[in-house]
Amino acid sequence: MQVTGDNIAVLLGIGTLGMLALALSIIYMHVRNQNRLLKQRELAQEAELKHQRVLLNAVITSQEAERKRIGQDLHDDIGAALSGLRLMIDVFEPAGDAQSNFKLFKSNTKETIDTIVAELRHIAHHLSPSLLTLHGLNAALNKQLEFINRTNYLQGSIDNQAPEIISGLETEAATAIYRVLEELLNNTIKHAKASVIEITFACPNPHTLLIQYTDNGIGLPASFTGNGMGMQNIESRLSIIDATYEVFNTHGKGFRIDITYPLNN
């Protein structure tokens, strides 16, 4: 009788251990399955992000190509037509009493055409900055600041502490950074009520390019969320080159944004 009781106890112990082992196996299989599903979900998300990045890159590349085409057409076709019109007015000389009136007309017309040509060049440069391709980011930004500085109420400057790095940027990175800074310049002109703009290029370490943009305007509104079209455009262009940014919201005390670009790209 005692032996039978012992056998039952052993069997119960074995059964309990078996059930425990089965439960642990089920838990292990469940956890492993969940990990596999999580890994698959992460891979799918990475693939989706990569696909979105490729599409975004294609859109921005096509936009830049179209900008370049329109800029060249404006400069070559319309610019040439205006120059030809100016020459025709310059060589035409009426006879008789209309001479004095025509001189005034010619002077005013030539001045107007010169203004249009200058503005046309500015638009063409804005659409497709040839200096960016020919002479690099620093030269293209200096040209942009020249137009701004002519207003005499807003002065911009560049402190380039990494000239070799800036001159050696690949076209994709240089174009993205130029467009971002161009967006920031436009925002300062339109909204900041600033008098000074400063752009700094520096390399805090061999693997990082730091771009700091500041103005002394009114700063961002307290309600700023970063969801506007301008900031979305900035974020999209920076994401293409794996750059990150940080905005320092100092309402009423100017504006500052730090852009970090990894040089190992």
Q: What's the pLDDT score for residue 73?
A: 66
Structural domain span for residue 114: 1-128
Q: Choose the final residue of a domain: 96, 128, 160.
A: 128
Which of 265, 239, 243, 238 shows the shortest CA–CA distance to 168?
265
- Same domain for 107 and 51: yes
Q: What's the pLDDT score for residue 131?
A: 74
pLDDT tens track for 96-144: 556 667 777 777 777 877 777 777 776 766 666 777 877 889 998 998 8
Q: Choose the final residue of a domain: 93, 128, 163.
A: 128
Q: What's the pLDDT score for residue 258?
A: 97
Which of 195, 177, 153, 171 shows the shortest CA–CA distance to 257?
177
Q: What's the pLDDT score for residue 92?
A: 66
Q: What's the pLDDT score for residue 205?
A: 94
- Same domain for 60 and 19: yes
Domain CATH for 159: 3.30.565.10
Please list the ranges in the chain whose pLDDT falls under 70: 1-7, 51, 55-61, 64-65, 69, 71-81, 84, 88, 90-100, 122, 124-128, 265
Q: Could you tell me how many helices (H) and strands (E) the chain has, helices first?
A: 8, 5
- Same domain for 65 and 6: yes
Counted domains in the chain: 2
Q: How many CB atoms lie within 10 A of CB 238?
A: 20
Q: Choose the final residue of a domain: 101, 128, 155.
A: 128
In whole angstroms, what is the distance from residue 202 CA to residue 211 CA? 7
- Same domain for 123 and 159: no
Q: How many CB atoms lie within 10 A of CB 31?
A: 10
Helix, strand, coil % over all residues of the chain, rounded to 5: 70, 15, 20
Q: What's the pLDDT score for residue 70?
A: 72
- Same domain for 237 and 171: yes
- Same domain for 97 and 75: yes
Asked if 74 and 127 count as a contact pair (C-beta separation under 8 A), the reply is yes
- Same domain for 38 and 71: yes
Helix axes 137-149, 171-187, angle to 10 degrees: 20
- Same domain for 166 and 114: no
- Same domain for 162 and 55: no
- Same domain for 135 and 122: no
* DSSP tag of 265: -
- Rg of the chain over Cα atoms, rounded to whole angstroms, equals 32
- Same domain for 245 and 207: yes
Q: What's the pLDDT score for residue 265?
A: 58
Residue with tokens 């007309």: 105
The SS3 call for residue 201 is strand
